[in-house]
Structures are given as structure tokens and as C-alpha cells.
Structure 1
Amino acid sequence: MTKQFDFTASYYDQEFTNTKIGIAQRNIVLKFLDKNLQGLKNVDIFELNCGTGEDAQWFGEKKQVNSILATDISEKMIEVAEQKNKTNLKASFRLEDASNLSPIVLEKRFDIIHSNFGGLNCLDRFEVESLLQQLSLMLKPNGCIYLVLMPTVCIWESFYFCLKLNWKNVFRRYTKDSVNAQLNVDTFVKTWYYSPKTLKRLLPPSLKITNFQTVGFFIWPSYLNAWATKFPALFNLLVKLENLVKGLSFLCFFSDHYMVKITSSGKT
């Protein structure tokens, strides 16, 4: 998996982060995080699958944030992230495999643990369950985990494959097995999809989900950015509709991504 993301690091921002769809979807996530940062002080953040460091850069600009430890499995992604965050004195970057966190990281404690845009979808069910157990022990009292995942059904994706008469992929996400998701023409990565219901089952007793939010029910998946460029008025309308429905948790089952806030349940 490391090599696949190494290959995409140099153009990831061009093909996702800085596109209309990438900006629109990330804005949904960052607005949610910004709301939850209000009233906090000296926040220590741990980020999994940080990619090119876009979120670390945003966190670094927040007065509430004290430090960010951003990690990724890809050395090339970390190199891009460090370059982007040269002036971000709050952020440090480290190579880490989310399925096998190092003891140095596991012994630390954080106010916020964050993973954006399907980073955990690169892990199988056993790995996700094990990771969530570890993350529960890495939270400070009153700490929160924020995850953005890809569910097992995406309405726009199914519509897109119907238009292409590609029937076998209409519900390609709806499986317990991994899917070879395409990163670019020559690069694929094994991907598992998790509905909100499945994610709940994978949580340890010490954690509970306290909020759901859509990230891409109306907003198209990133591989449809050509549509967003060709039909800007329609896309802007879809962004407005997304902001109207993003709090309707049942739509998370059918979105490109969904975001969850996870807190302590008080159980052991």
C-alpha cells in the first residue's frame, strides 16, 4: 500500500485537494471541526493518514491548537506535507502504519484524533477494530475522535456507473470483501467500505458515536471533477443542498463519505 500512495503524492493536491470537489468536501469537514474546536484550549491533535498535510496546515492556524502529530504510511506523502507545513511550528510529521502504530505513538495522549477522507478504509475489519481500541486508550479525558469514512453505498457513484452501463460496479462498495479502488490509471489500492452501522459494531465498549454528518450526499465523488468544472452552476447548487442536509444522519448510508464524532462512553 505504501508504494501506491508514494506514486500519487506529487499530484494528489492537483487531482483532489485543490479541485472544486476536493475543496467543497473538505470545507464540510473543516466547518464541523471548527465548530467542535470552539471553547477549547491547548489542544493536542493526532492525525492518521495525513496525506499531503492539508488538514495539519489548517489545524496549525487555529489558536486553540497546541500541537499536531500528523502521520502517514507513505514517505512521499510525508515529504510533501513537511514542505507544505514549513512555517507550521505546531506540526510534526512521522511515518506510521495505522494498522501497526509504534510504541512511541501509542504512549502519547491527545485531545483530538483525526483521520480524513477514507484513510481507515484502507484497513480491513480486524485492523479497524484493533485500531479503534488503541485510539480509545490514546484519548485524554473528554477527548474526541473524528473520522471521515466511505460507506457501502454511494448514490452518485451508482448513478455514474449506470450511465456508463458498467453494471458490475453499480454497487461495488456493497461487499464485506476488499475492492481494488483506482487511484489513477495504473494504481489501485485495496479498500474496505464501512457503513455507519458496521462502524458502531467495531467500536470498543469504551467509545460511542455522538454525531454523524454527510460529506458528499449531493456533492459528487472526486473522480467526477470534470462535471463540476463543466457545470459550475449545477455544482454550486449541489454544494448548497449538501449544507442543508449534512446533519441528516440517515443520508450517511448513501454518501460518498460521512463524518463521525466519537467520544468516551464511560464504559470499560
Structure 2
Amino acid sequence: MPSNFDSASKQYDEVFTFSNIGKAQRQRVYNYINPIIGSSKKLNILEVNCGTGEDAILFGGLGHDVIATDISEEMIAVANAKEHPKNVIFKIQDINTLSLGLFDINFDLVFSNFGGLNCLSKEQLSIFIKESSKILNPKGKLVLVIMPKKCLWERFYFSLKGNYKKAKRRNTSENIIVNVDGANVKTWYYNPKDIVSLSEALYKTKKIKPIGLAIPPSYLENSFLAKSPLLYILKGIDRIVNGSFWAKYADHFLIELEKK
């Protein structure tokens, strides 16, 4: 998996992590995984596609031991430059090399946030899911936040602009090229049922939740939608309309899997 995100590393936090939309979507993720990370039990956590390390630092601050990996050397450099607990280790690692024996320990949680796994083809994603089960402890959790095929906001926004091709760009089994802060990235989209199908032999599906059904995608950060009080209302809708049915229509969805 080639690293196309080095060029995005310097502005990633400004564009997404610390944006109003980025913070709102991330809070939805934390609310759904709080029963795991909010536990008083100390966990061994592996984060893949960790980007600039925001999630890993939070997990470490809660007392968990975290190894956070990303293929991008520059993303890891930004993460390492942040103040972080000693129990958080940042490491350059290609997700496609994940395998038993790569680490000295097994994990209670393997976590990937905000579409990092959308950079994998179906075959690569299937291998990742299988290999992740080998490094998880019994009843360990695999929690993934992925971009689905039918994002309502994307369809509405680009249709309003008259760009009907782009409005439906996600709804394909092929990869498309997406510009991420100047980096052209091969991207595949997956609905929840695709992940369930790939994982059901090894995992039980525990939770499927929409992330950003009413909260818009991050490319609308500079619009009125990202400003109060409207964003406050949109966040309220996301808190209420959170059934698994809506996951495939959101900007992202969270799926929690438990190792059988």
C-alpha cells in the first residue's frame, strides 16, 4: 500500500482534526466506543492508519497501552511531535504487512478511524480482517470506521451543484481516485453488509452505527453548515437517528466486531 499521505500531513489537523466537522464526527465515534475505551481495565490497543495520532493520544491518556501505526512517515512525524503519554508508541507500518509475530503482544482492540481502510481493495481488506483476528486476544474487538457507498450528503451536495457523476461516485465496486489535501488516493467504498460478509467467519457483529448522517462531510467545513447553531442541531439529529439502517447513508459508519 503506497504512502500518498505525506503531503497531507502538515495540514491534516487544521483541515480535519481540529475542524468543527472533524471534532463533531470524532465525538460520535468516541461515544460509540466508550464502553470499550472507557473501561477501567487496561487494554492493549493497536491503531492502524493512525494519521497524526489524535485517537492514540486520547486512548493513552485513558491509561491504555497503545501502538499506533501508519504507512506515512510524515504523519508519524507529526504524531510523535505532539505531547503524548509514554504508553503510546508511534510506528511506521504498512497495514498490508500486518501478521502474527509482527508484535510481541496480542491486543484487546484493533482500531481504524475515518476511512483509512477505504484505501484497501476488497482482497486486501479481507486479508487485513483475517490477520487482525490472529493478533487479537479471545473476545478481542475490531472497530472500524469506514466510508460507505450511499452518503446522502454527498449525493445531495453534488446534485445541487449539477455534478451528478460525482454525486454517485461512491456507488461502485471499483476504485476511484480521490484528492486528499493534494494527494491522489485510490479509494474503495464499502457498505456495512460488505464488512459483515468479509468478517462473519471470524467475528460476531456487535454494533453498526452511522457517523455523519446529519453532520456533513469535512469538505463542507467552510460552509454555513459547520457553524453554530446549525451544526449543534445536526449533531443532535445524529445522536437521535443512530440505527444501523442509516449507516450506509452516512459520511462514515462504525462497525464493532468481536473475535469468535
TM-score, length basis structure 1: 0.92
1:1-268 pair list within 5 angstroms: 2-63=2-63, 65=64, 67-84=65-82, 86-101=83-98, 104-105=101-102, 108-184=105-181, 186-203=182-199, 205-228=201-224, 231-246=227-242, 248-265=243-260
User: How far off is 1:3 after superposition?
Assistant: 4.5
User: How far off is 1:87 after superposition?
Assistant: 3.6
Amino acid at match of 1:41: K
1:178-230 per-position Cα deviation (integer Å, ceiling 9, x unaligned): 0111213x422000000011111111512121101110000000000012466
SS at match of 1:181: strand
User: How far off is 1:112 after superposition?
Assistant: 0.7
5+ residue gaps, structure 2, are none
1:145-191 per-position Cα deviation (integer Å, ceiling 9, x unaligned): 1100000110000111011100111111000000111213x422000
SS at match of 1:141: strand
Change (3 A) 1:38 1:9: closer
1:113-167 per-position Cα deviation (integer Å, ceiling 9, x unaligned): 1000011100000000001000011111221111000001100001110111001
SS at match of 1:260: strand
SS at match of 1:175: coil
The CA distance in 2 between the partners of 1:252 and 1:212, in whole Å, is 7
Change (3 A) 1:52 1:38: closer
User: How far off is 1:88 after superposition?
Assistant: 1.2
Change (3 A) 1:42 1:5: same
The CA distance in 2 between the partners of 1:39 and 1:237, in whole Å, is 30
Give me the CA root mean square deviation.
Answer: 1.6
Change (3 A) 1:54 1:39: closer
The CA distance in 2 between the partners of 1:20 and 1:2, in whole Å, is 30
The CA distance in 2 between the partners of 1:28 and 1:244, in whole Å, is 11
Change (3 A) 1:34 1:198: same
Amino acid at match of 1:9: S
Change (3 A) 1:7 1:201: same
The CA distance in 2 between the partners of 1:103 and 1:38, in whole Å, is 27
SS at match of 1:201: helix
Amino acid at match of 1:264: K
User: How far off is 1:235 after superposition?
Assistant: 1.5
Change (3 A) 1:230 1:87: closer
User: How far off is 1:17 after superposition?
Assistant: 0.3
Instruction: Count matched residues.
Output: 260
5+ residue gaps, structure 1, are none
